[in-house]
Structure 1
Amino acid sequence: MIQDIEPRKLDNVFQPDILPVEDSVVFYFKNKSVLIRKGDGKLFPSFSELNEPQHCIYLFAIGKRAFFLLPTDALAFIPNGFAFETIRDVRRTRDAALPSFFALYTAVHLSDWYRVNRFCGVCGNPTELDGKERAIRCPHCGHLIYPRINPAVIVGVVNRDRLLVTRYADQRGRDNYALVAGFTEIGETLEQTVQREVMEEVGLKVQNIRYYKSQPWGSAADILAGFYCDLDGSNSIDLDTNELRQAFWARPNEIRLQTDDWSLTNEMMKRFKEGEDC
């Protein structure tokens, strides 16, 4: 999966005094796009190519390399050889080492958090970065804002020798097979989220809910929790067409895996397809 970057590790300790060096990676986002190198070689710009030390925000490190963020509109012009490309297109068309993509998705998470909290939600005054912890502080009223992490579930519903497979109603680059998924709501346990999402999306009851594995997914600020469960009762699907355009019971040889192995969804489908315990 995208976070499986061993033997390297993500070091997300807050260290605001770290300054970029020449080969530090700098992420620069605009809407849902990121600045990338047009040609071959390293995907994202280095500090030496942008040279904006007064604006760089330290994010994290992977191995010995530090990653930084430039706030939106920090660059007066785009350097030659670089252009913006959507996050989705970068995933589909670019070739780079997995740690680079994990860094990208984690940087998206933090960039969006910085961008939407420029003003205090309590008093409305401009905010500033806190110097002691990864937080945004309002200097007027003292309100602290921490990075938002959205809990969500991925659900593999098993019916003996078949797995419930879905496809999203939104077709924009998402024609892959998937599983039932959804965000946890106020007051719910993760297990209750599993039951509710399966009922809402496909009209099925489930039992024997069992946790499999989790995954951070920065582009949606998620922490995903994967669960398998068994069908309880009728296998007749009542499709929520606002969320899905297809859902069906698939035998292992009918499951079409995603084009990369980044996602928890893909790993869970792969386990079932290969006959592993689910």
Structure 2
Amino acid sequence: MIQDIAPHIYHNEYSPMEPEEDSYLLYFEPNRTLAAWEGEQFDFPRFRDFPEVKQKLSDTVIYLFTIDSCRFYLAKELALPERKGFRLDSTRNFRDAAPQWLSFAGITAYQLWHWYDCHKFCGHCGCPMVHDGKERMMRCPDCGQTEYPKISPAVIVGVIHKDKLLMSKYAGRTITHYALIAGFTEIGETVEETVKREVMEEVGLKVKNLRYYKSQPWSFSETLLMGFFAELDGDDEDITLDTEELSTAGWFTREEAPAQPLNISLTSEMIWQFKKGLV
């Protein structure tokens, strides 16, 4: 999956050190990122590429994280960013861009950029927020309200019955490939209850014998995904489709199940586990 970047090591502890010339300098706009793109290969700019940006932490130069010994920083402002071979392009490129460890850095940084962008002002009193010096946190100097990066729990469910897997397509999206049942956990709900509720809401089926598989941080939607396999409760395979969420759904054998060619997502890995007979 996209976060599997070994032998590289991701360090997410908040260690706001001053940047150096070869430190990565990341810049984002809504759904776009600045990089040097050459086919599927890409690279992020460094501080040396934008000498007008001071190598100093500030409200507009923010420490993000470190991978191995490479430190990543967010530039909240850049005048004329598209130069020296760098151009703004879709963050969706990270799904198949190489190297993978930089793609993982990109989606993680974009999640943090979006969080900073949405927390400029206190949601309690409306005053401008300030960066905390010790934690990755925004703090209101007036009322003391604190905000940490948002992570939304969600589930991915592979429903299996008589050696067939339930697969579906989302409604109203440009994505046309098949996926698994998925949904966010609601307030006051366990993830196990989320599994059962989402399957019932989207396809009108009951499930049993839930088996936890694996989790994945999915920064494209600020989500922590938790994957489960489950069995159909009963023999009634008839699907009642929620047409607001899904455009189609059906049962597929191991040979028929359409798998995504890129194994960067938890959904894709779970489908391949089924196709290979490992679940």
State TM-score, norm by structure 1.
Answer: 0.94
Code of the aligned partner of 1:216: P
Aligned to 2:113: 111
What do the CA deviations read for 1:82-129 (whole angstroms, capped 9, x no partner)?
Answer: 21111114435x3x1111111111111111110100000111000011
Corresponding letter in the other structure for 1:177: Y
Residue equivalent to 1:187: 188
1:219 matched to which residue of 2?
220
* Secondary structure of residue in 1 paired with 2:182: strand
In structure 2, what is the equivalent of residue 85 of structure 1? 89
Given that residues 39 and 81 in structure 1 are in contact (C-alpha distance below 8 angstroms), is that contact kept between their aligned partners in structure 2? no
Q: Distance in 2 between matches of 1:36 and 1:176?
A: 27
Moved over 6 A (4+): none
Q: Which one of 119, 122, 138 corresponds to residue 120 of structure 1?
A: 122
CA contact (8 A) 2:119 2:129 kept: yes
User: What is residue 250 of structure 2 aligned with on the other side?
Assistant: 248
Question: For 2:227, what is the secondary structure of its paired residue?
Answer: strand
- The residue that corresponds to 2:65 in the other structure is 60
Residue identity opposite 2:11 in structure 1: D
2: CA distance, partners of 1:42 / 1:196: 41
TM-score, normalized by length of structure 2? 0.93
Distance between the aligned counterparts of 2:42 and 2:21, measured in 1?
14
| SS across alignment from 2:33 | strand
Amino acid across the alignment from 2:92: R
Q: Deviations over 1:225-257 (max 9, x none)?
A: 000000012110111111111111000111121
Residue 42 of structure 1: how far off its partner (Å): 4.3
**Identity percentage of aligned residues:** 48
What residue number does 1:167 align with? Answer: 169
- 2:147 is aligned, of 139, 145, 151, to 145
Q: Secondary structure at the match of 2:192?
A: helix
Runs of 5+ unmatched residues, structure 2? none
In structure 1, stretches of 5+ residues that fail to align are none
Give, in whole Å, the separation in 2 of the partners of 1:68 and 1:116. Answer: 18
Higher mean displacement: 140-149 or 188-197: 140-149
User: Could you tell me how far 1:22 is from its partner in structure 2?
Assistant: 2.2
Q: Distance in 2 between matches of 1:266 and 1:90?
A: 16
Residue aligning to 2:21? 22
Provide the aligned length of Structure 1 versus Structure 2.
271
SS in 1 for 2:216: strand
Counterpart Cα distance in 2 of 1:58 and 1:213: 29
Which deviates the most, 224-233 or 252-261?
252-261
Q: What SS does the aligned partner of 1:275 have?
A: coil
| Cα pair 1:156 1:228 within 8 Å, conserved | yes
The two structures, once aligned, show a CA RMSD in angstroms of: 1.4
Rounded Cα–Cα distance in structure 1 between residues aligned with 2:70 and 2:137: 23
- Aligned mates of 2:131, 2:232 — CA distance in 1: 48
Match in the other structure for 1:7: 7
In 1: Cα distance, 2:50 partner to 2:232 partner: 54
Q: Secondary structure at the match of 1:105?
A: helix
Q: Which amino acid aligns with 1:83?
A: R
